[in-house]
Chains A and B, each alone.
Chain A
């Protein structure tokens, strides 16, 4: 599959659909250990992105990713707005001015996204955040890209690893974000940020298939 601006836009539409479908689940997960706005906020942001893509799709993959970044930053709010916004902004910068992305570029973009999230949120693996899903996803993506896999294979591996990474947050005690105020009581709950990261990567993989 050629990963063009149009296909990146299609993948982001797929993400928006998945976020809308799982809005209530994310709200519920966040209500258990946070304040219950994660699903609502992400849904607002991706719906805004879809309406922008409906009016026109930017010319390059990088420009599409940058549009996603600015839209999420200006509409999502909460911690998720700057974190996902930064992730997309770093990914946009990473892919540079090319018309078609290959597997290595996609893996590198994921790594840049992770670096951006870590720089902004200052969280590390084990803090019970989206970093717990994104970090293994990047490792898996890079290993598939390095062994000659295609874009679909890279995203598939990333999505699977993110899914497992998200599940690994259940027993953890949160050390970042609002859930950290619960201390020990945050254990036993799936982290909503890790869950949304896994959903997002799953939707990207589905679109690339």
Chain B
């Protein structure tokens, strides 16, 4: 394992110290328990929008803390959900009197810990709502699985709901909006290489030189199928088609297309993939109104790409365009 670290046990705290220095104008970082808070929190009478999850997905979630997006993020250990006391601390630190909305990715550990935290916060008299996002079409919902995972769509959800909260939309409104976005966003990803979790010291899984894992989640956990790697003209449709079929997205739909790097795929390949995806969408008569391209929901150094589509309407478009000022997303402010 080759990494720019000291001790695997202190990776997250060490990284947070650097992040706090790099973005001192935007963030206030607490360490025990670890919470990344927007510098001007709590904002009076504003719904606090809070998310979190395992570290290793940077900039998710700490990179999206700031005006117009998240009030706080709770970073767990690498690829491990945060603990309930972290989430409870985030709620206590950011509650401006209008309650808090917790955005939770559908992973068993995240759901259990946020659920426990919501009980703690409710006991403290804060109105807390939880919205679980499960945009990954690779894992089919059934009676027998834990449901679909929450992946790339989380960024879009956090942006849109964060904008609404910044405008003064109340907790009921923010919760309803969040559920509406969850119903309109779908993703799928692939991995060309595995990543190495620092405390594990070796790759999470093994792929042959000519293999890829189709339908990965964001923790390096293997996906549904292992298939031979082909050219980008085959990879992109393999991701896009299951996404399009799932909602489904059809001709005339207006969408936001998010082309995401899992961390190790460079922008040259990402732009290439994005171009193919746009062409395929145009061929189907689907109108790409907005784009996001870059490494926003990563899996450490994993090479791979995910595609996310959000079906837009005028309200969602306006909330997406609303000003945002965070370490990783910044426009209009």
Complex Cα gap A182–B219 (Å): 13
Interface pair A81/B139, CB less than 8 Å apart: no
Assuming the A-B contacts A73-B83, A75-B83, A180-B145, are A35 and B113 also in contact, with contact meaning beta carbons closer than 8 angstroms in the complex? no
A75 surroundings in chain B (CB, below 8 A): 83
Task: Decide yes or no whether B80 CB sits under 8 A from chain A.
Answer: yes
Chain A: which residue is nearest B116 at the CB level?
A82
Interface pair B109/A180, CB less than 8 Å apart: no
What number of B residues sit within 8 Å (CB to CB) of A? 37
Interface pair A27/B77, CB less than 8 Å apart: no
Point out the residue from A41, A85, A183 that lies within 8 Å of B77, measured CB to CB: A41
Interface pair B222/A182, CB less than 8 Å apart: yes
A85 surroundings in chain B (CB, below 8 A): 116
Point out the residue from A79, A82, A176, A181 that lies within 8 Å of B221, measured CB to CB: A181
B77, B82, B149 interface centre (most CB from chain A within 10 Å): B77
Interface pair A77/B77, CB less than 8 Å apart: yes
Interface pair B81/A74, CB less than 8 Å apart: no
Q: Mark B160-200, 1 if CB is under 8 A from A, else 0.
A: 00000000000000000000000000000000000001011
Chain B: which residue is nearest A38 at the CB level?
B80
Interface pair A181/B149, CB less than 8 Å apart: yes
A40 surroundings in chain B (CB, below 8 A): 77, 80, 199-200
Interface pair B116/A181, CB less than 8 Å apart: no
Chain B: which residue is nearest A72 at the CB level?
B83
Task: Decide yes or no whether A121 CB sits under 8 A from chain B.
Answer: yes
Q: Mark A160-196, 1 if CB is under 8 A from B, else 0.
A: 0000000000000001111011110100000000000
Interface pair A73/B116, CB less than 8 Å apart: yes
Interface pair B83/A180, CB less than 8 Å apart: no
If over half of A's interface residues share one DSSP class (helix, strand or loop), that class is named, otherwise mixed; here it is helix
A35 to chain B, nearest CB (A): 4
Chain A: which residue is nearest B139 at the CB level?
A181
Interface pair A35/B221, CB less than 8 Å apart: yes
Complex Cα gap A34–B219 (Å): 9
If over half of B's interface residues share one DSSP class (helix, strand or loop), that class is named, otherwise mixed; here it is loop
Chain B: which residue is nearest A85 at the CB level?
B116
Task: Decide yes or no whether A31 CB sits under 8 A from chain B.
Answer: yes
A35 surroundings in chain B (CB, below 8 A): 79, 197, 204, 219-221
Chain B: which residue is nearest A180 at the CB level?
B145
Interface pair A77/B109, CB less than 8 Å apart: yes
Task: Decide yes or no whether B92 CB sits under 8 A from chain A.
Answer: no
Q: Which A99-136 residues have a C-beta within 8 angstroms of B?
A: 120-121
Complex Cα gap A41–B84 (Å): 15
Q: Which A24-77 residues have a C-beta within 8 angstroms of B?
A: 27, 31, 34-37, 40-41, 44, 73-77
Which bracket fits the contact residues of A?
Answer: 20 to 34
Chain B: which residue is nearest A81 at the CB level?
B83
A27 surroundings in chain B (CB, below 8 A): 199-200
Interface pair A185/B222, CB less than 8 Å apart: yes
Assuming the A-B contacts A35-B79, A35-B219, A36-B197, are A78 and B109 also in contact, with contact meaning beta carbons closer than 8 angstroms in the complex? yes
Task: Decide yes or no whether B224 CB sits under 8 A from chain A.
Answer: yes
Task: Decide yes or no whether B15 CB sits under 8 A from chain A.
Answer: no
Q: Which B47-92 residues have a C-beta within 8 angstroms of A?
A: 54, 76-85
Complex Cα gap A81–B220 (Å): 21
Interface pair B200/A178, CB less than 8 Å apart: no
Interface pair B80/A78, CB less than 8 Å apart: yes
Interface pair A74/B83, CB less than 8 Å apart: yes
Interface pair A178/B85, CB less than 8 Å apart: no
Interface pair B108/A181, CB less than 8 Å apart: no
A82 to chain B, nearest CB (A): 4
Could you write out 21 A-B pairs with CB less than 8 Å apart? Answer: A27-B200, A31-B204, A31-B205, A36-B200, A37-B197, A40-B80, A40-B199, A44-B77, A74-B83, A77-B76, A77-B77, A78-B81, A79-B108, A81-B113, A82-B112, A82-B115, A83-B112, A175-B144, A178-B107, A181-B149, A181-B223
Query: Measuring CB to CB, which residues of chain B are less than 8 angstroms from any residue of chain A?
Result: 33, 54, 76-85, 107-109, 112-113, 115-116, 138-139, 144-146, 149, 197, 199-200, 204-205, 217, 219-224
